[in-house]
Amino acid sequence: EVQLVQSGAEVKKPGESLKISCKGSGYSFTSYWIGWVRQMPGKGLEWMGIIYPGDSDTRYSPSFQGQVTISADKSISTAYLQWSSLKASDTAMYYCARRGVGDYWFDPWGQGTLVTVSS
């Protein structure tokens, strides 16, 4: 079974750093793109960026370029999303999702990681 399992919920203070993870299993991790999607409380889905773990090719949405860093460690089939200095406005659910080479849709999705930033 193809699965993406994300790390657990986080509570952080403004200015702190954070790295959340997404571990793939049941497929060749280096052959599919992994995207990250933000969902702010009560709002819709926003694409943040995408990485190809095979060669670490990474693309960002202009809205998130410079705000987050996406990386991957193919030796442990894990993708990451990180912040160097969190803001209260980063409070959201973050999903990772697999995208096929040549495709544009995302399937499956991880269960989500809730990030809460509050002083």
Partner 1 sequence: EIVLTQSPATLSLSPGERATLSCRASQSVSSYLAWYQQKPGQAPRLLIYDASNRATGIPARFSGSGSGTDFTLTISSLEPEDFAVYYCQQRSNWPLMYTFGQGTKLEIK
- Apex CA 60: angle with CA 58 and CA 63, to 5°? 170
Contact residues for partner 1 (CB under 8 A)? 35, 37, 44-47, 50, 59, 61-62, 95, 97, 103-112
Q: Which residues contact 113 (CB under 8 A, 6 or more apart)?
A: 6, 7, 8, 9, 10, 20, 93, 94, 95
CB nearer to partner 1: pick between 45 and 76: 45
CB nearer to partner 1: pick between 62 and 66: 62
CB nearer to partner 1: pick between 16 and 45: 45
Structure tokens at 22: 């997404």
Nearest CA to 40 among 114, 119, 98, 118?
114
CB nearer to partner 1: pick between 1 and 119: 1
Closest distance to partner 1 from the beta carbon of 69 (Å): 17
Closest distance to partner 1 from the beta carbon of 14 (Å): 26
Secondary structure (3-state) at 89: helix
Closest distance to partner 1 from the beta carbon of 25 (Å): 16
